[in-house]
C-alpha cells in the first residue's frame, strides 16, 4: 500500500493522492478520493470525522476516517508503513479490517471495514433509553473478543493499542465484535494531540498519568483500560464519579483506590468469573496486573471460547430499536454527555 502525490506549482499543499486499496480476495487497486461515493458522516471525535463511503467500481461499503494532520511527506511515509503492518491484521476475526490510506488537502483518509455501531452508543441506548442491562453473556463475548484482538496485535504485529475504550470496540448485526483505532503512527497522533480535550474522562492507567510510577508503556496499561471498559459496559456508567476538574479526575485515578466491581450491583448478580476478570484488570499496581498471555488463560475467557451465544439476534434487536428511534449508532463525539 502506498500513495503518490503531486503539488500545485508554488504550493506546499498536497492536492491529490493516489493510494492502493485492498478489496475482495486481497486484490490491490489504485484509487483516489474521486473513486469514493460519500454517503454522509456517521461519527465524529477529537481526531476527526468518520464517513460512510462506497468504492464506486465494486460497491464495497467502508468507513473512512478523515483525520486532520500536519505531518510532512517523510512522516506520511512512516504512517503508510505503519498502516501496511496493520493491514496484515486481516487474519484476526476480532480486528476491524483496513483497506487503504491516502492523503488529501491535509487530511489523512483511512479506509476500513464498516460496522454497525460502537459500544459507547450501544450501551447508553440500552441503559438510558431502554432501561435495560447488557447481559453478562454478551459482556463475556466482548471480553473474549477484545483480549484476543489485543493479544494478536502485540504478538503478531508488535502493536500496543494505547486507546482501549467503548467507542473503539465495534459491533454488527452478524454478531461480530471488533477492535479498531490502532496502529496510527506517533507522528500523526502527536500532530493532532493538541486538538484533544484534556477534560475527556480518562481510561488511562495510573502509571500513564503519573510516569514516575511506571517504567514506560506496557500492555498492562491497556489491560487497565479494558477493565475500565468492561466495568462501564456492565453498570452503564463510567466507573469513577463525576469530577469537577481535570486535576481532580487525574488525582483520583493516580492516588485514589481502583474501581472494583461487586458481585451484586443494583440487584444484578454477576458471576465470580466475570467480577474476578474485571477486577484483575483493574489491579492498580502495574507490576501485579496481568498481561494478555495470562488473561487469555483466565476461566472467564476459557469458558466463552466454547460457549455458543446468539449475540447476532441480540445486537440486531437493539440496533433496530436504535434506528427506529433515530438514535445515532456511531460515536458523534468523545465527550460524556
The span from the CA of 95 to the CA of 92, in Å, is 6
Total Cβ atoms within 10 A of residue 214: 17
Total Cβ atoms within 10 A of residue 235: 20
Cα 58 to chain centroid distance, Å, stands at 27
The span from the CA of 201 to the CA of 252, in Å, is 12
The span from the CA of 223 to the CA of 111, in Å, is 27
Residues making up the annotated binding site are 65
Distances (CA, A) of 116 to 63, 109, 144, 222: 10, 20, 19, 24
Cα 126 to chain centroid distance, Å, stands at 20
- Please say if 84 is a catalytic residue: no
Q: What is 173-206 written as a DSSP string?
A: TT--EEE-S----HHHHHHHGGGS-TTSPP---H
Q: Choose among 227, 240, 89: nearest CA to 158.
A: 89
Catalytic residue among 72, 84, 107, 163: 163
The span from the CA of 204 to the CA of 211, in Å, is 12
Q: What is 204-254 written as a DSSP string?
A: --HHHHSGGG-SS--HHHHHHHHHHHHHHHHHTS-SSPPPSSHHHHHHHHH
Q: Choose among 63, 182, 49, 203: nearest CA to 120.
A: 203
All residues at 6 or more sequence positions from 305 whose CB lies less than 8 Å from its CB, including other chains: 144
Residues making up the annotated binding site for ATP are 65
Q: Which residues are catalytic?
A: 163
Amino acid at each position: 500500500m502506498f500513495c503518490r502525490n503531486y503539488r500545485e506549482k508554488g504550493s506546499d499543499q498536497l492536492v491529490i493522492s493516489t493510494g492502493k486499496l485492498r478489496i475482495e480476495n486481497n486484490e490491490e487497486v489504485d484509487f483516489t478520493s474521486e473513486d469514493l461515493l460519500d454517503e454522509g458522516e456517521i461519527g465524529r471525535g477529537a481526531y476527526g470525522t468518520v464517513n460512510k463511503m462506497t468504492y464506486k467500481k465494486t460497491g464495497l461499503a467502508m468507513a473512512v476516517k478523515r483525520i486532520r494532520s500536519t505531518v510532512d511527506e517523510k512522516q506520511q511515509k512512516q504512517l503508510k508503513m505503519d498502516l501496511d503492518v496493520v493491514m496484515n491484521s486481516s487474519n484476526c476475526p476480532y480486528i476491524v479490517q483496513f483497506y487503504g490510506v491516502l492523503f488529501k488537502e491535509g487530511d489523512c483518509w483511512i479506509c476500513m471495514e464498516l460496522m454497525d455501531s460502537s459500544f459507547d452508543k450501544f450501551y447508553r441506548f440500552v441503559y438510558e433509553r431502554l432501561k435495560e442491562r447488557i447481559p453478562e453473556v454478551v459482556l463475556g463475548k466482548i471480553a473474549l473478543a477484545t483480549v484476543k484482538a489485543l493479544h494478536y496485535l502485540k504478538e503478531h504485529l508488535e502493536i500496543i493499542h494505547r486507546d482501549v475504550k467503548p467507542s473503539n470496540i465495534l459491533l454488527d448485526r452478524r454478531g461480530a465484535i471488533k477492535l479498531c483505532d490502532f496502529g496510527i503512527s506517533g507522528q500523526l497522533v502527536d500532530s493532532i494531540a493538541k486538538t484533544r480535550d484534556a477534560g475527556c474522562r480518562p481510561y488511562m492507567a495510573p502509571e500513564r498519568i503519573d510516569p514516575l510510577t511506571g517504567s514506560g508503556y506496557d500492555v498492562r496499561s491497556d489491560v487497565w483500560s479494558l477493565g475500565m471498559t468492561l466495568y462501564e459496559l456492565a453498570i452503564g456508567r463510567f466507573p469513577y464519579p463525576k469530577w469537577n476538574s481535570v486535576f481532580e479526575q487525574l488525582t483520583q485515578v493516580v492516588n485514589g483506590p481502583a474501581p472494583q466491581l461487586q458481585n451484586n450491583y443494583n440487584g444484578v448478580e454477576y458471576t465470580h468469573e466475570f467480577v474476578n476478570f474485571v477486577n484483575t484488570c483493574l489491579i492498580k499496581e502495574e507490576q501485579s496486573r496481568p498481561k494478555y498471555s495470562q488473561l487469555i488463560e483466565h476461566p472467564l475467557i476459557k469458558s466463552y471460547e466454547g460457549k455458543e451465544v446468539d449475540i447476532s439476534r441480540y445486537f440486531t434487536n437493539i440496533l433496530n430499536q436504535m434506528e427506529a428511534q433515530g438514535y445515532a449508532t456511531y460515536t458523534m463525539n468523545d465527550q460524556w454527555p
